[in-house]
A and B are shown apart, each in its own frame.
Chain A
Amino acid sequence: MEKAVMAAEALPGITYKKKENRYRKYSPLLIMMVPGLVYMLINNYLPMLGIVIAFKKINFTKGLLGSEWIGFENFEYLFKTSDAFIITRNTILYNLLFIVLGTALAFICAILLNEIKNKLLLKFYQSVITLPHLISMVIVSYLVYALLSPDTGFMNRTVLPWFGVEDGISWYSEEKYWPWILTIVHFWKGVGYSSIIFFAALLGIDEEYYEAARLDGASRVKQILHITLPILTPVITMLTLLSIGRIFYSDFGLFYQVPMNSGALFNTTATIDTYVFRGLMGSGDIGMSTAAGVYQSIVGFLLVIIANYVVRKASKDNALF
């Protein structure tokens, strides 16, 4: 809704003589904004007060505000562990890979979809690649298990014997395969959904650009490189900036369910989220789990600010704010 106001302001030919005049003019828009703002306030801003939990020793009888302050004690476990390096490294590396490769794949997907002119086929392909996004990770983990199960899996039973590997691989105890497996699963599940944004942006590009390019004899590839890509740069930058904000989070389902919580794989599958979950499952300490969330979001927030600052230096138009 804020965007609607921004758009209206951007309209040329309107001059503002008086402030109240301006408010009157936009009052319908402002009123339309209210429900959205209230929703944001209640759903997104109010819960932020919960951050105090991270700094308290929660006692339900004393209540949230009455509980004792303990400073950064709840955060210690995230850093004072021998695994701190592994979980941080895994979280960041996987996310970097997902951001870079994910953007590229989603972009390519969107361009390919854009080339399909048959409406019916387009809808069909779109549905097919988006469908995995709707499947719960728990189910995905069993689909993966059906492929990789040591006894009955498709890989060990059918695929590997084709290549002369008769013994099979015990997938769930060999950590070296998992960066590949997790990446494939992640993109199989997510690429269709993320290509929707690019596809929508592609639809907004004026056909005239391409026509002009074709008249000048530009090939398909040239058109993509010199028309589509530049026009979509702001979108790509923005999506990347937003994903950087979540770089300290990991897809819990992907890293916990899909490897079946197999201990032998922790060196390549443990992330901050799974570490916190495993460690606190027994005790259920909400102070410590909140601390993990606060840590993740503050680092994410700082990274977004920094990344945005860098983008802003390079090209003001592409920055998020």
Chain B
Amino acid sequence: MKSKSKLAALSLVTVMLAGVITGCASSNKEGGNASPTAPASSASPDSATKDPYEIAIAIPVFGAVPKDIQAVQDEISEISKAKINATVKLLPISIGAWGQQKNLMTSGREKLDLSFEFGMGYSSSVASGTLKELDNLLDQYGEGIKQQIAPEYLGSAEIDGKIYGVPVYKDYTTGVPGILMRKDLVDKHNIDVSSIKSIDDLDRVFQTIKENEPAIVPLGSGLTLPSDKYVWFDKLGDRYGVLPGFDNDLKVVNLFETKEYEDFLNKMRSWGKAGYFNKDAATSQINGSDLLKAGKSFSYLTSIKPGNLESESRAAGTELVFAPLMPNIYATTSDALGGLWTISTNSENPERVMMFLNLMYTDKELANLFIYGIEGKHYVKATDNSIDYPAGIDSKTVGYSIQSWIYANPSIAYLMKSDLQEMWKLTAEANQKAIKSKALGFSFNSEPVKNEMTALKNVTDQYQKGLETGTLDPAEKLPEFRAKLKAAGIDKVIAEKQKQLEAWAAANQK
């Protein structure tokens, strides 16, 4: 009897556990040897394109895979076939599986040539050896790229003096930090937008809203924090060790120990106590613009780049006005490296892939196809330089679309009719006139201090959101936060960063 019930239970447990265990997938593919082939510098362009080649391109998709992707791929292939005797194969990968899938493709030696890469994953991808060095290829086949991307920005993709990715062409600056407010309420309460010059001027504005509009909160915060874009320092990748004023003579300091940070927290606390934030700001998974869209808040802090005001207004579904809170815009490595295009170490013909990448930066027809799809089917021309969806189709029903910011050079493509038409002119201006951070081009390699980084990440997760949304009292919690950062080894990270920065400065004669 006893053994029988034990048996029955054992088998039941086995079945149940099997259900648990099968949930764990494993990545156990074994990589072969890579033989990095140096580009044959003697080959003439003609012999380089003699044999047909298929270029596999991985792109992240945010949502369903566009249903007409095959048709677009065929059209792209037609262009590339004529120009460089290569066809393309688009590999759309869902954003949720993006990083893992790409690592698996690399270690499984699957066919992968060209790929988008997020700036924040770039240095770890380089460290784990998934990307090809591009310096020689760029010199040989990247003429158009070098014309499009100014050397200081192209150089910001350098790691240990070598380039592994080409930055997407965009606004490479911090943008203008400021506040976006609902225009209807600004008008209703006669708020003088031009008098807002710093965050201290916002007290008055928020008070007006708080008193007169009880149904909404003055400032929405959640997934995005006020300090995300309201920055007075170069965060050097991760905020553990920053350059105040984007210069500070390359002396890295602990942001959380600075007076400015404490003042900022006190300001946030005063707003929090006055009820200017949404109550669940410290835990909300909703970003500022969505809160505004849902009619729950009056404004949010962000930074504005050319064209952003229009797109943010469109996303919020109501007209917004912008008041800048800081005068200058700065160019930093983190901002320059939003996204990059990289060549995989799996590629068997990196020369041809670089030729294609060069086309992505220079060929207008290719850019339009890649971003908007096929003319007549996915878009129609509205004016000479702008387009619209065909009749009866909108952004939700169109058969092909990708995020235009992942494309290598969106500035040569059309703009949507609703976009700011001078956007690319203004972008070029902004990139040119932005004050270059003294550390522009420097990327921090956190590998030597990865244990400390893990601990620091947990400490900041614990305190930062609560403090920066005014939920926690800085008088009580900031000393605790600072002490825990010290215990987690922030000083070691800063020392390491300082060392790397000095080495970088010496190598680049800064």
Contacts and interface: CB of A to CB of B under 8 A. Distances in A.
Q: Do A and B bind each other?
A: yes
B103 A261 contact: no
A31 interface: no
B124 interface: yes
B450 A77 contact: yes
Interface in B12-32: 12-13, 16-17, 21-22, 24, 26-32
A61 B345 contact: yes
B461 interface: yes
Contacts of A275: 458
B11 interface: yes
Interface string B93-111: 0000001000100110000
B463 interface: yes
A77 B465 CA distance: 23
Given A82-B455, A285-B450, A261 B22 contact: no
B285 A43 contact: no
Contacts of B17: 242
A197 B17 CA distance: 12
A229 to B, nearest CB: 12
Interface string B235-250: 0001000000000000
B471 interface: yes
B121 interface: yes
Interface in B210-244: 238
Interface in B257-296: 278-280, 282-283, 285
Interface size range of chain A in the complex: 35 or more
B43 interface: no
A71 interface: no
A46 B106 CA distance: 21
A232 B2 CA distance: 8
B466 A173 contact: yes
Contacts of B472: 173, 264
B26 A197 contact: no
A288 B280 contact: no
Interface stretch (A100-108, A113-121, A180-188, A199-207): A199-207
A81 B484 CA distance: 10
A231 B454 contact: no
B28 A238 contact: no
B126 to A, nearest CB: 11
A160 B333 CA distance: 50
A310 B84 CA distance: 72
A313 to B, nearest CB: 18
Interface string A235-275: 10011001000000000000000001111101000100001
Contact of A60 (B106, B451, B466, B484): B106
Contacts of B28: 46-47, 49-50, 64
A61 B131 CA distance: 9
Interface in B130-165: 130
Given A278-B461, A284-B124, A204 B5 contact: yes
B8 interface: yes
Contacts of A262: 282-283, 465-466
A309 interface: no
Contact of B5 (A61, A201, A242): A201
Interface string A40-60: 000110110110000000111
Interface of A is mostly: helix
Nearest to B36: A61
B279 A83 contact: no
Contacts of B188: none
A89 B484 CA distance: 18
Interface in B462-510: 462-466, 471-472, 484, 487-488
Contacts of A281: 457
Contacts of A151: 278-280
Given A197-B13, A242-B17, A279 B279 contact: no
A131 interface: no
Interface string A1-29: 00100110010000000000000000000
Given A82-B455, A317-B2, A263 B462 contact: yes
Contact of A279 (B1, B9, B453, B471): B453
Contacts of B99: 284
A206 B2 CA distance: 11
A285 B33 CA distance: 21
A279 B489 CA distance: 14
B12 A77 contact: no
Nearest to A76: B451
A217 interface: no
Contact of B487 (A62, A82, A276): A82
B2 A82 contact: no
Contact of B285 (A6, A10, A234, A260): A260
A204 B4 contact: yes
A60 B8 contact: no
Contacts of B465: 262-263
A49 B471 CA distance: 47
Given A50-B27, A200-B8, A204-B5, 9 more contacts: A10-B3, A47-B28, A63-B107, A66-B31, A77-B450, A173-B472, A238-B6, A263-B464, A278-B461
Interface of B: 1-13, 16-17, 21-22, 24, 26-34, 99, 103, 106-107, 120-121, 124, 127-130, 238, 278-280, 282-283, 285, 345, 446, 450-451, 453-455, 457-459, 461-466, 471-472, 484, 487-488
7 contacts: A59-B127, A60-B31, A151-B278, A234-B2, A266-B462, A281-B457, A317-B2
